[in-house]
Structure formats: structure tokens, C-alpha cells
Amino acid sequence: ALRAGGLVAFPTETVYGLGASARHAAALPRIFEAMGRPADHPLILHLDNPRFVSRWVAGLPPQFEPLAKAFWPGPMTLVMNRSEEASDVLTGGQDTVAIRIPSHPMAQQLLTAFGGGIAAPSANKYGRVSPTRPEHVREELGDAVKLILDGGECTIGVESTILSLAGEKPRLLRPGSIGQSQIEAVIGPVEVGADAGAPRVPGSTAQHYSPATAVATVPSTLLESRIDTLLRDARRVAVLAQRPPRKAQQGVTWINAGRRLDAYQRDLYANLRSLDKAGADLILVEDVPTTPEWTAVRDRLARAAVNPR
Ligand code: TXA
Ligand code: MG
């Protein structure tokens, strides 16, 4: 399917991707069509081995080797200056290319069998919650994707950490399960967030990763009183919390996602999807810890909550 220019959804350790051959000129636009994604948004190039990276970039930056050694294969995407090999469709017309070596065995097998680079964003409609299970991909994209490789549930559950090595200093563009301190332990200080002349990172537009139901984050101590107020107005409420409810109430759908980061993060998008289907007027999310390990989760929740609908 890939060689013929078709789309294949496949599992990675972070989320499911919607893949097309990175060198097939007619294939890449099909990704944008299927997703309703603006055509100038760059895709991530997936390879099975770091030794192929040099073809796609204009010189390997000094931080490349130590980072690749520490974090690949794994949930880390590196943005570097591109070579001729990387097309405008792949890079959204920018002079940089984003590359990742996924560790998921099925992604690895697919890449090796195909024998080339696979361009893939997360396999969701533009602006929506990323899929972490094969059935989510079907839900999101329907018949637009013929082939979905079923690798079960993604173990990490949030998209890869994106680090740019294209500028003067390394810059963290998107938080992920590999945290800032882990990166700094390998290459020293990094800047954080998009800079003024920033490349486009769709995940960094304020509203992104959103369910259709409005989302609001609430401090734990205010959770019950917010629910009471909403119920008084005859509104139905869905709750994503880290503890059980203090009292049983009608009109409330409650998910206790627990306090363990890895499980909370792994189940985050699946939980938001379930709550989205609960027929509630609002999804209330109990604030998660403010510690650095929770940065990626906090980031995705904050984006889900920027929701004018
Ligand atoms: O975990 C992941 O990264 C997943 C799996 C499938 O690999 N992919 C993913 O792709 O999350 P997604 O939907 O976020 O889209 C690609 C991201 C966008 O945020 C895009 O802006 C960024 O990568 N990106 C791609 N090329 C870039 C570049 N040249 N400069 C800056 N950001 C870039
Ligand atoms: Mg995405």
C-alpha cells in the first residue's frame, strides 16, 4: 500500500500515526486530505535506524549523536536543517525536517519491510485528540484510511517530545514523556517553547488535542462545588479525576484515572474520548500535579481546555 502511494495507519509507542511514503509525491497530500489538516503543516519523518538520518539533513548537529544514543529508538523527535531529500510537502515548505525513530516493534517492522521513510502525523482529525488504540483511528478517519495495523494500546499515550537542533541553541518545541531535565542531562541547557521566528508546530496552536465537549480544569478542592453548581443548572457533567468521587451523584460520569503518571498518561486520550461520549455539557478535569514529570500531561490538558465551543 505504501509503495502504491496509499495511507497506512500504524502504532507507535506514543500514539497511532497515519503514514505515507515520504518520497512519494502523490501520497503525502492524501494525509492532509484524510485529516483535514492545513497543507502547510509539516509532518514527522519516521525511520527505522538513526544511520539513515544523514540523508535527510544538511549536516548532523553536534548534539545529534548523544541524543540519538540516549533516546532512540523512542519518543523523541529531532528537528534539523533539511537536505534536498526532504520535500516541501513533508516539511511544510520550511528549511527544516522533523525526524523520529519509533521503538514500537510493529512500527519498526513496517519501516524495515518498507525500506524507506514514512511521513506520519498522529492519525486524528486536525485539532482533535490523538488515537492511542486502533479503534480510535477508525473512529477518527473512517474510510479515509483503508489499512490500520493493530498494535493494541500505545504504552506512552502522548505525542513525542519535539526538540529543535536547527537554531543556535537546542529548543524544546513540544513537551513529551522525555522531559527537559533528561535532555539537559545529555546535552546541557535547552530553551523552551516556540521562539519569535518559530516554525509552525500545530500542536502549539493554543487549541489542539480537543474533545468535542468543552473541557475545564479545576483544582481538586473545588471539584465537588463546581459539580454541584453545574447540576443545579441541570447540566450534565463528566469528570476526569485522580481520586474517586466524595459522594455519589446523578448526572455525573466520573473516571478515576489514579495518581500514577505512566497510567494516567497512557489512558489520557482514551479517557477524554469516553468522557466525550458521555453526553455531558462539560468535562471537568481535576488539576494534575505541577511537578516537572507531569509537564506533558499538563500541556495536553491545557490545550484541550482552550475550547470556545
Ligand atoms: O509521537 C509523535 O510524534 C506522533 C507519532 C505518530 O510519531 N506524531 C505526531 O505528529 O504527534 P503530529 O500530529 O504532532 O504532527 C507532527 C508534529 C507537528 O506538531 C509539527 O508541527 C511538528 O511535528 N513538526 C514537523 N516538522 C517540523 C519542523 N520542521 N519544525 C517544527 N516542527 C515540526
Ligand atoms: Mg497530531
What pLDDT shows up at residue 67?
Answer: 98
Ligand index nearest the alpha carbon of residue 125:
2
DSSP states of 217-258 as a string? Answer: EE-GGGHHHHHHHHHHTT--EEEEESS--SS--TTEEEEE--
Residue numbers of the chain with a pLDDT score lower than 70: 195-208, 307-309
Running DSSP on this structure, what letter comes out for residue 43? -
Residue 283 is placed in which grid cell?
468535562
The predicted-structure confidence for 272-284, as pLDDT tens digits, reads as follows 999 999 999 999 9
The preferred substitution site among 12, 44, 100, 101 for testing ligand 1, maximizing ligand atoms within 8 Å of CB, is 44
Distance 125 CA to ligand 2 centre (A): 8
Ligand 1 cavity residues, CB under 6 Å: 12, 14-15, 17, 41-44, 77, 79, 91, 94, 96-98, 100, 120-122, 159-160, 162, 173, 199-203
Which residues are CB-contacts of 5 (< 8 A; sequence separation ≥ 6)? 20, 21, 24, 26, 27, 30
The predicted-structure confidence for 245-301, as pLDDT tens digits, reads as follows 998 888 899 999 999 999 999 999 999 999 999 999 999 999 999 999 999 999 999
Distance 124 CA to ligand 2 centre (A): 7
Distance 132 CA to ligand 1 centre (A): 16
Its pTM stands at 0.95
Whose CA is closest to 44, among 65, 16, 70? 16
Ligand 1 nearest atom to the CA of residue 122, by list position: 13
What pLDDT shows up at residue 248?
Answer: 86
What pLDDT shows up at residue 205?
Answer: 56
Ligand 1 nearest atom to the CA of residue 156, by list position: 1
